[in-house]
Amino acid sequence: MRPTPYVASLRIYEPIDSFAPSDQLRWSQIAITSPTGWDEQHRALTRTINSEPPALKPDGAHVLDHEGKRYVAPWSTTARCWAALDDFKSTLPPSVIKFFIPQTIEDSIRSSTEIVEDKVSHILTCTWNIPPRWFSLFRPDERMRGENDDGYFTIMRTSIANAKQRASFTHDAVLNAFGSGQVEGEVADLIDWLEIFDTASIVELDYGGLAIYLNNLLIENGEAGLDADTSIEDVNSSIAGLASGDGSLAGRGYERLVSRWRKVAALESAT
């Protein structure tokens, strides 16, 4: 069982030689069979209890070996904590922030000034849902699904060149259909993020524990579990509808996607 089974991740794996020599040495020693996903989630869950500053321990990484070459997605824990801290604080009045975040933890995060200047998170996460724009980066034949020691899984991978091309097409379709706005801005932000990394990188979407919830819900609905999940197809269909001016096609694909994942999101309030 995953420590945080409600988290999905979008990851960038860069070639290991894109990193500093010290990091290359450390990450080259990670066994490809190491449970890095479990370790990352376990440490994250532990910090919610112990309030341990993220910069106190060396950060970990996810690794892929592809065609004789190693690719690495650092956890970027401190950078992600920085971003989460700022996002959380933006939702609260300044006078109450101190009651939610110990000053020692905030000072620890902010003392690592290098994270602002030269570190970018290789991982985006979402709880209890997956943003439709993430699916737009992939095609059905890039999807892998099955069952392992953690239960059911769905993972999709593609080259960053493919992902950027598809994100650009999506952005143009959304912009032409709706003009500038929140949805268009979110796709633009995704493109900006992809542009940061090495052009030989690999992009991965991992359902995490959401695959188990989705599998069970689809079976309860009389469908063939994860084999009946057509999220990529639905998003691609919706984007094609936007691009061609076919509102009916765009709406059908989007509605299929949203109705499927709305049931997963509803589990948050049931747990």
Average pLDDT, the chain: 84
Indicate the pLDDT class of residue 5, thresholds 50, 70 and 90.
confident
- Give the bridge partners for 14, in sequence order: 72
Interatomic CA distance for residues 78 and 113, integer angstroms: 10
Per the CB < 8 A criterion, the answer to whether 201 and 11 are in contact is no
pLDDT above 60 (res 3): no
Q: Which residue has the higher pLDDT, 80 or 75?
A: 75
**3-state SS class at 175:** helix
Write the CA distances from 51 to 58, 81, 89, 105, integer angstroms: 16, 12, 17, 7
pLDDT, tens digit, 9 for 90 and up, residues 47-77: 444 555 545 455 688 999 999 999 999 986 5
8 Å CB contact between 80 and 59: no
Cα angle 163-169-173, degrees, rounded to a multiple of 5: 140
Compute the average pLDDT of residues 178-206.
Answer: 97
Query: Does residue 99 have a pLDDT over 80?
Result: no
- pLDDT beyond 90 at 32: no
Greater confidence (83 vs 209) lies with: 209
Task: Write down the pLDDT at residue 133.
Answer: 98
Predicted confidence band of residue 114 (pLDDT cuts 50, 70, 90): very low
Mean pLDDT, residues 213-225 taken together? 96
Distance CA 42, CA 97 (A): 26
Q: Residue 60 has what pLDDT?
A: 81
CA distances in angstroms from 213 to 130, 154, 155, 205, 206, listed in the order given: 13, 12, 15, 16, 14
The dihedral over CA atoms of 23, 26, 28, 31, expressed in degrees to the nearest 10, equals -140
